Chains A and B, each alone.
Chain A
């Protein structure tokens, strides 16, 4: 049900509703008058589109060339695929049977996309035999040519209500009256001119695929299959001089569901052992029931990777590091593994930047004496100083009293000028009588009108 111009209209109808005479586009009031027991739900075009996309992904098992058509249909280019399923008829029936588990669907198979479109929507569906399009389409209304409403209405008005009426008419007057689009659509439907289908996503250039005679549910067998597919894929990549950056393994189950496992590498690789380790971790939690019938493995992103010779004099094998980083990031996430570099800021909290784990960093750290542990946010403490603006003599944190034996400071650290209102800090390095060394600071200058009693914080501990 959609709301357009203030009126609630039906967007889609179920088969039961259609038998009662309801049609998409009808107003809700009319629909209720025809069928008082009508149950409605708000239309969700985005969710519907997502479902269609998921269906298109799933349908890749029938053909690598699947495209979305409008908001409610899929195109398949099955050139070279039909024999894998035992002929066109069987392919179409299997496809329909699988889709109909979840959706109401119709399907047609023809020489041209236009003819298949017309037969699926206006006919009974099924396979249109080779070069039989003209006969099959002749009885259909002209709307089956994917024409806009005005053109279709105009054609009907002059008595050309069916496709068969148009086929043998002279072209020139038709074009003059209705525009080139009419003859173009007609030729497309009859297969006289080629109409290309753009696949939803370009099929991966490097892909390996295995279909099982009997569905498998055994994890060991699945892992062995993945291993074999990976060998095939890596050999393929080696010939092309490329390495995997992103690997997608998809398993198709017999209940029509599919799951994709994605593995990323930080740099191009075609090392089977490394990639298999990454994949094996993802395979662990995979649900194999009720059985897997097809497995595909594709290098969805690849980079050039020429044959490589190890560096004999190298300090350490950077491949090992890359492999380790990949294993860690695939399990923990990209942000969990990092390198640290200094940043030119005075505030201790902001002096470290996190970088990607494989960035080469050559940085010099400022030579200040800094703690090895920094508390974020700083811990509030109570401190007693000998002189009001001097170093603390003892301080209390968490009910424990620390007696200061030695102290050095203050080191005054102020925030950058573009950060307003941040109070300056006087830092002290102090050592208590047991020898533990702390980094304390007093917030703001002493005797500041805003804070007459100075506040103390424990910011870090030294090693």
Chain B
């Protein structure tokens, strides 16, 4: 009877390995550095060689773009510093990217004229050995196409980040699917906009627990993710404490 839990654990591990994509060992795990998010991901981090989908929640997906840039920069290593960005629209603005840790001089930008070309560019780039991540601004609804992208990403341990609009149907084979919306920032002096804050939803995670939601801060000085401190509830918490004292 004592051996049973161990057997169960082995089985679970095997199931997880199968869920993560076959017998091949999963690629590099890149932790977010935020315990709450890493706990929700299987293995304690984001698998680099996989397909990840990032969807905006508003029509103008500024927050999703920022998160994608931050994630791409986070996945890059000195051995693989380059990120390829396959444009769907023509309005990506390079001077805004350094704030998310992505130096535009490490960026290779490709303009694809149609979604088919964008898919081709993404798959070709994923099979190159020099890139850390490929960001593709295209909605991949085709099951075969998204499977191909996933396999290409896994083969060379290059992250494939699909940046899709709010109304996208989404790729079926994505390992993780994130929904990113802006969140009101902490009021700072003079009531000016403060640091970047996202309401991040892990809508789908293969082999992990989903959906989960966090408020995530991006500190561009240090280039770190951090959970937003729940300042908004302070007043209520104080009120509750006062009540308890009065009671």
Interface residues of A (CB under 8 A from B): 315-318, 320-321, 323-325, 327-328, 331-332, 335-342, 348, 351-352, 354, 357, 361-363, 365-376, 405-408, 429-431, 433-437, 460-463
- B62 interfacial by beta-carbon distance below 8 Å: yes
Q: How distant is A429 from chain B, measured CB to nearest CB, in Å?
A: 6
Q: How distant is B191 from chain A, measured CB to nearest CB, in Å?
A: 5
The answer to whether A316 touches B63 (Cβ under 8 A) is no
The answer to whether B184 touches A405 (Cβ under 8 A) is yes
Chain A residue at smallest Cβ distance from B70 = A463
Chain B residue at smallest Cβ distance from A405 = B184
Alpha-carbon gap, A335 to B61, bound state (A): 26
- B214 interfacial by beta-carbon distance below 8 Å: no
Chain B residue at smallest Cβ distance from A408 = B192
Q: How distant is B110 from chain A, measured CB to nearest CB, in Å?
A: 5
Would A434 and B182 be within 8 Å (CB), given that A324-B124, A372-B62, A373-B65 are in contact? yes
The answer to whether B110 touches A373 (Cβ under 8 A) is no
The answer to whether B110 touches A328 (Cβ under 8 A) is yes
Chain A residue at smallest Cβ distance from B191 = A406
Contacts of B130 in A (CB 8 A): 316-318, 320-321, 324
The answer to whether A315 touches B120 (Cβ under 8 A) is no
Alpha-carbon gap, A265 to B154, bound state (A): 28
Contacts of B113 in A (CB 8 A): 332, 336
Contacts of B230 in A (CB 8 A): none
- B96 interfacial by beta-carbon distance below 8 Å: yes
The answer to whether A408 touches B193 (Cβ under 8 A) is yes
Q: How distant is A412 from chain B, measured CB to nearest CB, in Å?
A: 17
The answer to whether A315 touches B62 (Cβ under 8 A) is no
- B109 interfacial by beta-carbon distance below 8 Å: yes
Alpha-carbon gap, A372 to B107, bound state (A): 14
- B141 interfacial by beta-carbon distance below 8 Å: no
Residue total for B at the interface (Cβ-Cβ under 8 A): 60
Chain A residue at smallest Cβ distance from B218 = A463
Q: Which of B56-95 contact A (CB under 8 A)?
A: 58, 60-63, 65-67, 69-70, 78-82, 90-95
Which has the most chain B C-beta neighbours within 10 Å: A406, A408, A463? Answer: A463
The answer to whether B62 touches A321 (Cβ under 8 A) is no
Alpha-carbon gap, A340 to B197, bound state (A): 27
The answer to whether B187 touches A406 (Cβ under 8 A) is yes
Contacts of A317 in B (CB 8 A): 129-130
The answer to whether B108 touches A435 (Cβ under 8 A) is no
The answer to whether B62 touches A436 (Cβ under 8 A) is yes
Alpha-carbon gap, A374 to B96, bound state (A): 9
The answer to whether B185 touches A431 (Cβ under 8 A) is yes
The answer to whether B69 touches A363 (Cβ under 8 A) is no
Contacts of A332 in B (CB 8 A): 110-113, 117, 121
Would A435 and B93 be within 8 Å (CB), given that A315-B79, A315-B81, A332-B117 are in contact? no
Q: How distant is B85 from chain A, measured CB to nearest CB, in Å?
A: 10
Q: How distant is B16 from chain A, measured CB to nearest CB, in Å?
A: 31
Chain B residue at smallest Cβ distance from A325 = B108
Alpha-carbon gap, A437 to B192, bound state (A): 11
Would A435 and B197 be within 8 Å (CB), given that A327-B124, A371-B62, A405-B184 are in contact? yes
Contacts of B66 in A (CB 8 A): 372, 462-463
The answer to whether A429 touches B192 (Cβ under 8 A) is yes
Q: Which of B115-168 contact A (CB under 8 A)?
A: 117, 120-121, 124-125, 128-131
- B190 interfacial by beta-carbon distance below 8 Å: yes
Q: How distant is A345 from chain B, measured CB to nearest CB, in Å?
A: 11
Kindly identify which residue among A341, A348, A357, A435 contacts B185, using a CB–CB cutoff of 8 Å.
A435
Alpha-carbon gap, A372 to B62, bound state (A): 7
Kindly identify which residue among B107, B120, B129, B184 contacts A340, using a CB–CB cutoff of 8 Å.
B107
Q: Which 4 A-B pairs have the closest CB atoms?
A: A463-B66, A461-B62, A408-B192, A374-B93
- B97 interfacial by beta-carbon distance below 8 Å: yes
Alpha-carbon gap, A239 to B42, bound state (A): 53
Q: How distant is A334 from chain B, measured CB to nearest CB, in Å?
A: 11
Would A463 and B95 be within 8 Å (CB), given that A316-B81, A340-B109, A434-B182 are in contact? no
Alpha-carbon gap, A376 to B109, bound state (A): 18
Alpha-carbon gap, A405 to B95, bound state (A): 25
The answer to whether B99 touches A463 (Cβ under 8 A) is yes
Alpha-carbon gap, A376 to B91, bound state (A): 7
In addition to A348-B95, A371-B96, A372-B65, 11 A-B residue pairs with Cβ atoms within 8 Å of each other are: A316-B81, A328-B110, A336-B110, A337-B109, A370-B96, A373-B93, A406-B185, A407-B192, A460-B96, A462-B193, A463-B99
The answer to whether B110 touches A337 (Cβ under 8 A) is yes
Contacts of A460 in B (CB 8 A): 62, 91, 93, 96
The answer to whether A323 touches B182 (Cβ under 8 A) is no
Over the window 167-203 of chain B, the binary record of Cβ atoms lying under 8 Å from chain A Cβ atoms (1 yes, 0 no) is 0000000000000011111010011111011010000
Alpha-carbon gap, A339 to B129, bound state (A): 18
- B2 interfacial by beta-carbon distance below 8 Å: no
Alpha-carbon gap, A376 to B90, bound state (A): 9
Q: How distant is B174 from chain A, measured CB to nearest CB, in Å?
A: 21
Chain B residue at smallest Cβ distance from A436 = B182
Alpha-carbon gap, A373 to B100, bound state (A): 13
Alpha-carbon gap, A325 to B108, bound state (A): 9
Contacts of A369 in B (CB 8 A): 99
Would A435 and B183 be within 8 Å (CB), given that A324-B124, A365-B94, A371-B96 are in contact? yes
Contacts of A357 in B (CB 8 A): 108
The answer to whether A372 touches B192 (Cβ under 8 A) is no
Alpha-carbon gap, A417 to B96, bound state (A): 25
Kindly identify which residue among A315, A366, A429 contacts B193, using a CB–CB cutoff of 8 Å.
A429
Contacts of B69 in A (CB 8 A): 372, 463
Alpha-carbon gap, A337 to B120, bound state (A): 14
The answer to whether A463 touches B100 (Cβ under 8 A) is yes
